[in-house]
């Protein structure tokens, strides 16, 4: 299917050749004195027949009382011309009569499986009407709005108190289920009759043998719980429930307070090639009442739209709680003026419970080519069925050129959105300076952004989700995934997250992203310099295989608000950094952040310019405290004239933690260069150990019932109450690191503890060859280098849980002043 409307400028003959299945029977001409009347006459005469538009049609057609549940099929090369304050076209479907249902929550999820026929089965959500008779007329493929008087827990916290967003999901009926028991297995296409009720259904799928579930596409009549179920006049089984709806909707929230469902009409809506224009100047000061969407859809099932938007007064297409919409839109221009009027120019806005829509957009000169939104309300009664809920399951693809504010955007609360094949070039902040120029702004939950390029934005990607202050009712951790992206020419941040609030632990994963400012090293007009990734929120971050180049401040800055960050490998490229610019690899601002560096980072330094050689893998810039830094592997350093320190410190304390890989040796050389050393200062070493509960027989069999910490392995010395000195694990029994049996030697000769009187024990590694024992060495020199090569932890039992933590303290226990200090740890790993 063509990206642009294929029929722009085509003749009727060409339109037919392009694949139209019906000859247009009604022609509404721009010369008609009353376009609205002519248009509605065509719909009333024969709804669903294609109506051909070939000119520009100035209209004040609101259509809410007419364009309701008719089939609408518009084709042609013409344009609907929007007047201020009126939609060019509004389609609002009539929701069916609400049907009360039981609470819908995680207990409603059923797993249907039958090992004899299908070992995997289905996971479906069960919706049980309070009155079984209300299932009449419902069949597979119907779409319903499921809603209740509960509201999303984030909504009052994202906005002011009283601005609630009420729960709503759109669901598709997968089938109607009926439990049975006391019989034998049904077969597909069995015609089932209730012996008492006379209700009937045709089995389309089934689970179970003597008892289970039968599923049909529709039911005639009302099955009674407990009645016999007949097939071919013979009793096959007994009904073990009344019938219910099955849907594959994924539940994130519980529908508890007066849950109901209302059917979405099946009428079709097609808009194929018709354009949108605005009458007059959309950028002028017209008053807020003029700013209405050009095309407004409410509760439309599977709308199909291909259109060119020449201009409009705000949104071009607004989809309120539509189901599986298809939008292919070419946006030429939309307003971004008159800030007090909120003249937002959106190409396509998905809003309320819009579900599973697909948006393909090419846009320029507008605010957002695409966005999502919700309707905050003060009370349930003020929310129409189609204005409840939040967007879910949409997919967006397209290109944005010279847009204002965030090119692609989500608002608070939307769930499971996917952005793929996104290309953004040079967004700007526009006249409504509410945000800087942003390529993509995410405020949604479980958003996936993959295969994207953002070029020339002030902020490439902005994680701005203030709505994550409360988790899903299901307890699922919200995760945002960025995959395979290139962010270039950014002015301030490649990715910024300083807005997520709360403590529910959302996660953001960056996988195979490339950040490059393209050498734009001019002084920043903002409060910060260029940073590839700036993380300063409680979200848990993972960065896997990312590459960073050209930053004035840091490639990665872990800000004061960050909680937990994992950096897995990556490339830090400083080769283009000019003289006079200092760029850190990783900057850590807060000792309370848990920072872990795994994989093997690669540092590409400048050849001779000192400033292009970052001072360390990690630069701690906090004002106090002991930072929590774990480094699993040394970086590979290319082009550096001096050794690469692991951690540099501009504060009052320095800690390095090294974790050797399981089954590898570790040798470490630690060098500390503070400006002065207090008398009696000392170096402390701590290595992880195992704690466990158990007992040892006289013959040398050790039974462990529970263990924590590092795994138990051969060679580990054992200490504990009554354990003779020198005993260690010599062989594994049923235990392989935790609970189980082990052989220890030498055998103690007496029982140590017993099954009914277990003791607490621990496994401590041997530490030998520590050569920093002379106090005068600390006291009289401003520099010391302690060679810890003789530190014996290179035993078979060294595991990923074994760590070396190094901290320098003075006699009072306070941290040494390390304002200019650098801690260097060079490690060597050798396979056994």
pLDDT value of residue 153: 80
**Tell me: the pLDDT tens digits for 346-356?**
999 999 999 99
| Predicted pLDDT at 221 | 94
Per-residue pLDDT reduced to its tens digit, 217-276: 999 999 999 999 999 999 999 999 999 999 987 788 999 999 999 999 999 999 999 999
Same domain, 724 and 783: no
Containing domain of residue 674, as a range?
Answer: 667-687+768-828
Same domain for 756 and 820, yes or no, is no
Check whether residue 774 and residue 755 sit in a common domain: no
> Is it the case that residue 631 has pLDDT exceeding 50?
yes
Whole-angstrom CA distances from 180 to 110, 208, 212, 419 are 15, 9, 6, 44
332 within some domain: yes
Q: Do 681 and 639 reside in the same domain of the chain?
A: no
Residue where a domain terminates, one of 714, 734, 763: 763
Strands (E), 205-259: 205-208, 212-216, 219-220, 228-231, 234-239, 244-247
Whole-model pTM?
Answer: 0.79
Does the pLDDT of residue 786 top 60, yes or no? no
Give residues with Cβ within 8 angstroms of 98, minimum separation 6.
260, 261, 262
Q: What distance in Å separates the CA atoms of residue 720 and residue 418, rounded to the nearest whole number? A: 55
Task: Count the domains in the chain.
Answer: 4
What's the rounded Cα separation, in Å, for the pair 783 and 677? 8
* 784, 772 contact by CB (below 8 A): yes
Q: Sorting pLDDT into bands at 50, 70 and 90, what band is 811?
A: very low
Cβ atoms 546, 570 nearer than 8 A: yes
Q: What is the pLDDT of residues 558-583, one digit of tens each?
A: 998 888 999 999 999 988 877 667 78
| Any domain includes 93 | no
Q: Rounded to whole angstroms, how far apart are CA atoms 386 and 300? A: 10
Same structural domain for residues 488 and 624? yes
The pLDDT of residue 815: 38
Q: Per DSSP, what are the bridge partners of residue 252?
A: none
pLDDT of residue 342: 60
Query: Phi first, then psi: what are they for 775, rounded to 5°?
Result: -60, -35
How far is it between the farthest Cα atoms of the chain? 110
Asked if residue 728 belongs to a domain, the reply is: yes
User: What does the alpha-carbon distance between residue 149 and residue 151 come to, in Å, rounded to a whole number?
Assistant: 6
Distance of CA 579 to the CA centre of its chain: 39
159 compared with 145, residue with greater pLDDT: 145
Between CA 677 and CA 781 the distance in angstroms is: 7
Is the residue at 805 inside a domain?
Answer: yes
- Kind of pairing between the strands at 759-763 and 690-696: antiparallel
568 and 642 fall within a common domain? yes
Contact (CB, 8 A) for 531 and 493: yes
Question: Within this chain, do residues 184 and 196 fall inside the same structural domain, yes or no?
Answer: yes
Report phi then psi at 107, rounded to 5: -70, -15
DSSP assignment letter at 301:
B
SS3 97: coil
**Closest by CA position to 711, among listed 594, 807, 795, 596:** 795
> For residues 192 and 217, what is the distance between their CA atoms, to the nearest angstrom?
13
State the average pLDDT for the chain: 78
Do residues 366 and 282 lie in contact, with contact meaning Cβ atoms separated by under 8 Å? no
Contact 685, 805 (CB under 8 A): yes
End-to-end C-alpha distance for the chain, whole angstroms: 59
Are 633 and 734 in the same domain? no
Regarding predicted confidence, which is higher, 468 or 104?
104
Of 279, 201, 195, nearest to 246 (Cα)?
201
Phi, psi of 38 (to 5 degrees): -65, -40
Distance CA 557, CA 590 (A): 11
Buried residues in 210-227 as b, exposed as e (16+ CB within 10 A): ebbbbbbbbbebbbbeeb
- Alpha-carbon distance of 269 to 69, in angstroms, equals 10
Q: Is residue 8 part of a domain?
A: no
Give the pLDDT confidence of 730-742 residue by residue, as tens digits: 999 999 888 999 9
Instruction: Using pLDDT thresholds of 50, 70 and 90, give the confidence band for residue 801.
Output: very low
Regarding predicted confidence, which is higher, 17 or 745? 745
Residue 201 shares a structural domain with residue 341: no
Q: How far apart are CA 90 and CA 318, in angstroms?
A: 10
**Average pLDDT over every residue of 767-785:** 29
Rounded (10°) CA dihedral 278, 279, 280, 281: -10
71 belongs to a structural domain: no
For 365-506, list the strands marked E by DSSP: 368-373, 395-401, 406-409, 418-425, 438-442, 448-455, 459-463, 479-488, 493-497
Helix (H) / strand (E) element for 761: namely strand 759-763
Count CB atoms within 10 A of the CB of residue 662.
13
DSSP β-ladder status, 682-687 and 395-401? unpaired
User: Do residues 796 and 713 make contact, with C-beta atoms less than 8 angstroms apart?
Assistant: yes
Listing DSSP states for 259-303 in one string gives -EEEEPP---EEEES-EEEESS-TTS---GGG---SEEEES-BS-
Final residue in a domain of this structure, among 763, 791, 820: 763
What span, in angstroms and rounded, lies between the C-alpha atoms of 240 and 281?
A: 66
Candidates 581, 578, 580, 572; CA nearest to 543 is: 572
- How far is it, in rounded angstroms, from Cα 592 to Cα 598? 19
For residue 295, the surrounding DSSP H or E stretch is strand 295-298
Using a pLDDT cut of 90, give the percent of the chain over it. Answer: 41
Domain boundary among 715, 744, 763: 763
**Percentage of the residues of the chain whose pLDDT score is greater than 70:** 72
Helix spans in 555-649 (H): none
pLDDT band at 61 (very low <50, low <70, confident <90, very high): low
E-strand ranges in 159-258 read: 166-181, 191-194, 200-202, 205-208, 212-216, 219-220, 228-231, 234-239, 244-247
Most confident range, picked from 47-51, 55-59, 306-310, 620-624: 306-310
Indicate if 486 and 522 belong to the same structural domain.
yes
Nearest to residue 183, comparing CAs of 117, 243, 227? 227
Stronger pLDDT, 85 or 131, i.e. the higher one = 131
Please name which of 156, 7, 148 lies closest in space to residue 75, comparing C-alpha atoms: 7
Residues 471 and 570 in one domain: yes
Average pLDDT over residues 806-822: 38
User: Is 146 a domain residue?
Assistant: yes
684 pairs with which residues across the strands?
807
Does 629 lie in the same domain as 586? yes
Query: What CA–CA distance (Å, rounded) separates 762 from 727?
Result: 12
The CATH number linked to 575 is 2.160.20.10
Q: Is residue 164 part of a domain?
A: yes
CA 568 vs CA 157, 500, 559, 571: distances in Å: 34, 23, 18, 10
- Lowest mean pLDDT, pick from 67-76, 380-389, 621-630, 649-658: 649-658
């Amino acid at each position: 299917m063509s990206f642009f409307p294929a029929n722009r400028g085509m003749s009727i003959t060409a339109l037919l050749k392009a694949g139209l299945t019906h000859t247009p029977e009604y022609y509404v001409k721009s010369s008609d004195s009353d376009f609205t009347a002519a248009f509605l006459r065509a719909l009333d005469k024969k709804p669903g027949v294609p109506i051909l538009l070939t000119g520009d049609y100035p209209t004040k057609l609101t259509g809410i009382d007419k364009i309701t549940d008719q089939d609408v099929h518009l084709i042609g090369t013409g344009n609907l011309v929007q007047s201020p304050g009126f939609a060019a076209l509004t389609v609002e479907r009539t929701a069916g009569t609400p049907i009360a249902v039981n609470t819908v929550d995680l207990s409603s999820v059923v797993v249907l499986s039958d090992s004899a026929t299908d070992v995997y089965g289905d996971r479906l959500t069960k919706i049980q009407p309070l009155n079984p008779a209300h299932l009449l007329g419902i069949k597979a493929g119907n779409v319903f709005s499921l809603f209740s008087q509960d509201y999303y827990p984030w909504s009052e916290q994202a906005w002011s108190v009283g601005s609630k967003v009420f729960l709503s999901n759109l669901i598709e009926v997968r089938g109607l289920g009926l439990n049975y028991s006391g019989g034998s297995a049904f077969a597909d296409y069995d015609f089932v009759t209730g012996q008492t009720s006379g209700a009937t259904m045709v089995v389309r799928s089934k689970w179970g043998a003597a008892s289970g579930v039968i599923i049909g596409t529709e039911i005639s009549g009302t099955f009674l719980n407990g009645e016999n179920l007949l097939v071919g006049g013979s009793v096959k089984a007994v009904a073990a429930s009344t019938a219910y709806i099955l849907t594959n909707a994924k539940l994130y929230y519980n529908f508890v307070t007066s849950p109901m469902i209302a059917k979405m009409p099946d009428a079709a809506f097609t808009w194929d090639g018709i354009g949108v224009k605005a009458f007059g100047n959309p950028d002028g000061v017209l008053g807020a009442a003029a700013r209405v969407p050009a095309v407004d859809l409410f509760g439309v099932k599977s709308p199909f739209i291909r259109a060119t938007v020449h201009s409009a007064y705000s949104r071009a297409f607004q989809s309120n709680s539509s189901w599986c919409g298809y939008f292919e839109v070419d946006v030429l221009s939309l307003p971004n003026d008159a800030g007090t009027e909120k003249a937002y120019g959106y190409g396509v806005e998905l809003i309320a419970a819009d579900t599973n829509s697909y948006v393909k957009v090419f846009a320029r000169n507008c605010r957002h080519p695409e966005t999502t939104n919700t309707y905050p309300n003060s009370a349930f009664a003020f929310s129409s069925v189609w204005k409840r809920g939040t967007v879910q399951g949409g997919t967006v693809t397209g290109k944005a050129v010279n847009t204002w504010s965030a090119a692609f955007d989500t608002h608070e609360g939307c769930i499971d959105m996917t952005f793929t094949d996104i290309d953004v070039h040079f967004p700007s902040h526009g006249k409504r300076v509410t945000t800087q120029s942003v390529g993509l702004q995410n405020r949604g939950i479980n958003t996936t952004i993959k295969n994207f390029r953002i070029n020339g934005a002030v902020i490439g990607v902005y994680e701005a989700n203030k709505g994550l202050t409360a988790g899903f009712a299901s307890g699922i951790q919200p995760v945002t995934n960025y995959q395979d992206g290139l962010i270039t020419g950014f002015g301030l941040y490649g990715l910024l997250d300083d807005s997520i609030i709360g403590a529910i632990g959302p996660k953001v994963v960056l996988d195979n992203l490339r950040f490059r400012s393209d050498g734009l090293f001019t002084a920043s007009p903002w409060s910060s310099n260029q940073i590839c990734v700036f993380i300063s929120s409680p979200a848990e971050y993972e960065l896997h295989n990312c590459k960073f180049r050209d930053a004035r401040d840091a490639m990665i800055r872990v800000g004061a608000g960050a909680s937990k960050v994992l950096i897995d490998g990556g490339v830090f490229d400083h080769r283009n950094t000019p003289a006079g610019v200092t760029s850190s690899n990783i900057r850590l601002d807060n000792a309370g952040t848990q920072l872990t560096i795994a994989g093997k980072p690669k540092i590409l330094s400048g050849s001779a310019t000192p400033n292009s050689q970052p001072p360390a893998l990690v630069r701690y810039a906090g004002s106090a405290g002991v930072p929590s830094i774990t480094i699993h592997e040394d970086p590979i350093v290319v082009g550096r004239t001096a050794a690469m320190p692991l951690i540099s410190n501009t504060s009052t304390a320095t800690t390095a933690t090294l974790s050797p890989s399981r089954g590898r040796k570790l040798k470490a050389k630690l060098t500390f260069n503070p400006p002065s050393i207090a008398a009696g200062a000392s170096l402390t070493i701590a290595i992880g150990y195992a704690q466990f509960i158990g007992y040892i027989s006289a013959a040398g069999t050790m039974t462990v019932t529970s263990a924590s910490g590092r795994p138990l392995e051969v060679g580990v010395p054992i200490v504990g109450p009554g354990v003779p000195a020198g005993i260690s694990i010599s062989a594994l029994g049923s235990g392989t690191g935790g609970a189980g049996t082990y052989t220890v030697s030498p055998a103690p000769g007496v029982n140590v503890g017993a099954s009914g009187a277990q003791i607490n024990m621990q496994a401590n590694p041997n530490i030998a060859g520590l050569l920093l024992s002379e106090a005068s060495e600390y006291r009289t020199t401003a520099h010391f280098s302690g060679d810890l090569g003789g530190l014996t932890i290179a035993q078979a039992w060294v595991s990923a849980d074994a760590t070396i933590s190094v901290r320098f303290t003075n006699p009072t226990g306070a941290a040494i002043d390390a304002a200019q200090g650098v801690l260097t740890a060079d490690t060597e790993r050798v396979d056994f």
